[in-house]
Structure 1
Amino acid sequence: MSGGGLSKERLGRLRGAMAGYVERGEAPGLVALVSRRGDTHVEAIGMLAAGGSMPMRRDAIFRIASMTKPITAAAAMILVEECALRLDEAVDRLLPELAGRRVLKRPDGPLDDTVASNRPITVRDLLTFRLGIGAVMAPPGSHPIQRAMESEGLAPGPNPPLHAPDEWMKRLGRLPLIHQPGERWMYHTGSDVLGVLIARASGQPLERFLRERIFEPLGMMDTGFHVPGNKLDRLPTSYRREAGSGVLIVHDEPASSRWGSPPAFESGGAGLVTTADDYLAFCRMMLNKGWYGGERILSRPAVELMTTDHLTPEQRADNRVFFGDHSGWGFGAAVNIRRESLSTVPGRFGWDGGIGTTGYTDPKEELIGILLTQRMMDSPEPPGVFLDFWTSAYQAIDD
């Protein structure tokens, strides 16, 4: 047993389980990190690109997609603590595009069949994904609102939007809400809107605010919305599985990467790139209730509020594909509320990224786990490599 309460022998099982995915060709490479009580174990396995000659490295820079969301929520809470934002304040002051919303009578109804919204959208609605619009969990293109979001460049997805923030908000403001504010949980869009709100409230681009208030204080020097040219050799090629054949095909590669230059839209929902150690620093700050390296980023009450489940039982039940029977949603992250596996410890919080990443923090066990892979998720349900990573991380606890 090591001082950190992780079994060295059992950590060998983690390496074996993760290496199996690479050996079977299911993932070209990955970085797996488990940290507990200051003891950090990292495995870099496989290659930066399928069939390539460059080994995976601990400081590889991954596209973390929706693992961006907890960081965006933390940034919003910094502004809440400074009274630049209020949780239950209408967003209309800074986001006039969302004032006076109309709401569809039926989610699958025509876009002009609407009623007035019962109340304005609030900051809390953005943080909890209850603003009334987001990913529609129905066959693609089956609802008029889905087709409209797609045509306007607003459809939720792992790749950052192509429109600049003001144009993106203008387009969002043209569409009706799908549900009344506060009524239902709908994935993703709230974080992108929140990123625009943070930029407008702070008077600076989202990345600059994140860099000054979170990344630099935490030493997250490889985290941002793009990979500089001198670091592109550390960006793995990203793959997706071809429908039907299961063959891995390129989604994004360094030479022509969407993340190779500053984006038009700095996506608070899915835009960041980072390393395992950078993301570990953010998770440690959250685990330490806002404190990191002698500096307080957030107050303890703010972190506790962020990591509390804010959904009703009905809202969780409507989104079982995301939450199963074991999780709810805090501010920008899932929160485990019921134990049904080794890893679903009540109070554990974090999220997955659709381009192939997962990261959670467990205050009870004092454990942080981060898995970064190059293979995109096929559905909202976690893939086998995620499940086996979390089983392997928790079975290595040695006290």
Structure 2
Amino acid sequence: MAFREFPASQLSRRNLLRGSAYLAAGGVLAGMPLGSDLLRAHDVGAAWPNVAERIGHYVNGGKVPNMVASFGWGLDDPHTVARGTLKFGGATSAGIDSLYRIYSMTKPITGMATMMLLEDGKIGIDQPLAEILPAFAEMRVLKRADGPLDDTVPAERPITIRQLLTHTAGLGYDIVNKGPLLDAYRANGITSGQVSRLPIPGMPQVRSAPSLEAWADRLAALPLLLQPGTKWSYSASIDLLGRVIEAASGQDFAQFMQERMFDPCGMDSTYWQVPESEVGRLTDNYGILAGMPLPMDPAGNSIFLDRPPLAWGGSGLVSSPRDYDRFLKMLLGYGKIDGRRVMGETAVRIGTSNLLPETATMEGTWVAGQQFGAGGRVVGQTYGWGGAAGTLASVDFGSGLRAGLFVQYMPSESYPIRDEFLAALAKDLGVNERAFSLG
């Protein structure tokens, strides 16, 4: 049941974010016979001068208090280029074990957890969601995205697991919805996560549904934004997969993730709730207002110190660069890390390939021209995703490069950090290639 629906043509692997720069970087690195020696160098910042310069530009310029880039080559240990302190004016340096709110970088982790259940035969990739969660059996679809909730038509096809994995199920999102649908999401506590204990101008304080079960049931009672399987639209679908995992596995979602993903991967600094004992490693998060960084979620008063009402599979995790690199390293090992099998090779290969339904389009979206796997973008041979506070991470199966960028500011569009990081990464690899050819 788990994999029988996949044609052989879908076993190719691809991946990441704003695609072309990173894809070019991976291609260059693949041609570097001494790339692994470079990454083992003691002064990693010297090995990545353009990356180090961009990080220094933002940290030394007072735009962000810290930034950490992590790199891993093959299955070697990761190295970093790290600058700054956990908060402005702080004394603790940021590094590979600092804690960052990774927000939507939670999505690939949940996507791969879903692939585990596909491998276990508990669910099928094209299985209707209603067979697992019956409340989604007779969905309605808004005639207009901003129209009244009673102006709907029947869904033309059932929501499937494939659609949930690829944001093509037609579901809305509280960061995407408009009009009455947005009001209904907020009134029902169908939130996408948490940001701060502090009131934030322009961001209403919404009380979340009290559990994943309640959250999913309330979501099922509201109309869809689009017909299932027709178009890519960023959505609450990965959070809903958390409830699918609960129902299919018989375990609490957070417990499943701890036992099946975090513990086997050695991710001992990945949390839904940051323990008080670890507050000293937690970064501050900043809101950018007119180019000025202002404290949004200080570590000592962070909302991530509270027990969350539910585990958001699309946005809920705090993690360290080292821990996220271990997740990427497990993927690069096709399900194995440090000799331990975490998930099957076929599950990884399929989850990092293009899973988009043939009926769905990406035209007119901000991922147009790309592909999508299990909760992450797919470009070439890379797979990964970014987070709302400026983070991003990917694994390139062609070159063997694992890369991550960790920083804390919102909204992520305030600075072009991610695009500049990818461009600097490509430039450094080009410089290194020429240096080796001269040697």
Q: TM-score, normalised by structure 1?
A: 0.89
Distance in 2 between the 1:78 and 1:376 partners?
32
* Higher RCO structure, 1 or 2 (CA under 8 Å, sep 6+): 2
Residue pairs, 1:34-183, within 5 angstroms: 34-37=71-74, 38=76, 40-135=78-173, 141=178, 143-156=179-192, 159=195, 162-163=208-209, 164-183=211-230
Change (3 A) 1:81 1:90: same
* Residues 131-179 of structure 1: CA deviation (Å, up to 9, x unaligned): 11124887x74x3222322332325466497222122122212211111
Alignment check: 8 A CA contact 2:70 2:80 kept: yes
* Residues 277-318 of structure 1: CA deviation (Å, up to 9, x unaligned): 111111011112212121222222222221222336972213
Q: What residue is the counterpart of 1:232 in the other structure?
A: 279
Alignment check: 8 A CA contact 2:188 2:208 kept: no
Q: What residue is the counterpart of 1:316 in the other structure?
A: 362
* Residues 91-115 of structure 1: CA deviation (Å, up to 9, x unaligned): 2233222221111122232110111
Change (3 A) 1:22 1:40: same
Per the TM alignment, residue 239 of structure 1 is displaced from its structure 2 partner at its CA by 0.7
Structure 2 gaps of 5+ residues are 1-33, 197-206, 434-439
Q: Which moved more, 1:206-215 or 1:87-96?
A: 87-96
Distance in 1 between the 2:415 and 2:116 partners?
33
1:253 aligned to 298, 312, 330, which one? Answer: 298
| Partner amino acid, structure 1, of 2:407 | T
Alignment check: 8 A CA contact 2:272 2:304 kept: yes
Change (3 A) 1:306 1:4: farther
Q: Secondary structure at the match of 1:368?
A: strand
Change (3 A) 1:383 1:288: farther
Q: What residue is the counterpart of 2:245 in the other structure?
A: 198
* Residues 53-102 of structure 1: CA deviation (Å, up to 9, x unaligned): 32223211111000000000111111111111111112223322222111
Q: Which moved more, 1:101-110 or 1:152-161?
A: 152-161
Distance in 2 between the 1:347 and 1:57 partners?
28
Tell whether 2:46 aligns with 1:12. no
Distance in 1 between the 2:175 and 2:251 partners?
34
Residue pairs, 1:328-343, within 5 angstroms: 328-336=371-379
Q: Which moved more, 1:188-197 or 1:83-92?
A: 83-92
Q: What residue is the counterpart of 1:347 in the other structure?
A: 381
1:219 aligned to 259, 266, 269, which one? Answer: 266
2:403 aligned to 361, 369, 383, which one? Answer: 369
Tell whether 2:340 aligns with 1:289. no
Distance in 2 between the 1:314 and 1:137 partners?
21
Per the TM alignment, residue 121 of structure 1 is displaced from its structure 2 partner at its CA by 1.3
Change (3 A) 1:69 1:4: farther
Q: Secondary structure at the match of 2:303?
A: coil
Alignment check: 8 A CA contact 1:308 1:330 kept: yes
| Partner amino acid, structure 2, of 1:19 | G
Distance in 1 between the 2:245 and 2:426 partners?
36
Structure 1 gaps of 5+ residues are 337-345
Per the TM alignment, residue 17 of structure 1 is displaced from its structure 2 partner at its CA by 1.8
Q: What residue is the counterpart of 2:10 in the other structure?
A: none
Distance in 2 between the 1:4 and 1:288 partners?
20
Q: What residue is the counterpart of 2:59 in the other structure?
A: 22
| Partner amino acid, structure 1, of 2:64 | A
Q: Secondary structure at the match of 1:120?
A: coil
Alignment check: 8 A CA contact 2:163 2:229 kept: yes
| Partner amino acid, structure 2, of 1:317 | E
* Cα RMSD, aligned residues only: 2.3
* Number of positions where the alignment pairs a residue of Structure 1 with one of Structure 2: 381
Distance in 2 between the 1:192 and 1:82 partners?
20
Distance in 2 between the 1:154 and 1:205 partners?
19
| Partner amino acid, structure 1, of 2:53 | G
Distance in 2 between the 1:45 and 1:253 partners?
19
Per the TM alignment, residue 46 of structure 1 is displaced from its structure 2 partner at its CA by 0.7
Q: What residue is the counterpart of 1:185 in the other structure?
A: 232
Q: What residue is the counterpart of 1:388 in the other structure?
A: 420
Distance in 2 between the 1:199 and 1:394 partners?
41
Q: What residue is the counterpart of 2:309 in the other structure?
A: 264
* Runs of 4 or more above 6 Å deviation: none
Distance in 2 between the 1:263 and 1:135 partners?
19
Alignment check: 8 A CA contact 1:87 1:123 kept: yes
Q: TM-score, normalised by structure 2?
A: 0.81
| Partner amino acid, structure 2, of 1:22 | V
Distance in 1 between the 2:91 and 2:257 partners?
35
Q: Which moved more, 1:46-55 or 1:58-67?
A: 46-55
Q: What residue is the counterpart of 1:32 in the other structure?
A: 69
Q: What residue is the counterpart of 1:273 in the other structure?
A: 318
Q: Secondary structure at the match of 1:241?
A: strand
- Percent identity over the alignment is 33
| Partner amino acid, structure 2, of 1:386 | R
* Residues 324-383 of structure 1: CA deviation (Å, up to 9, x unaligned): 54x2211100011xxxxxxxxx1211000002210011111211111110112344xx94
Per the TM alignment, residue 275 of structure 1 is displaced from its structure 2 partner at its CA by 0.6
Distance in 1 between the 2:250 and 2:148 partners?
37
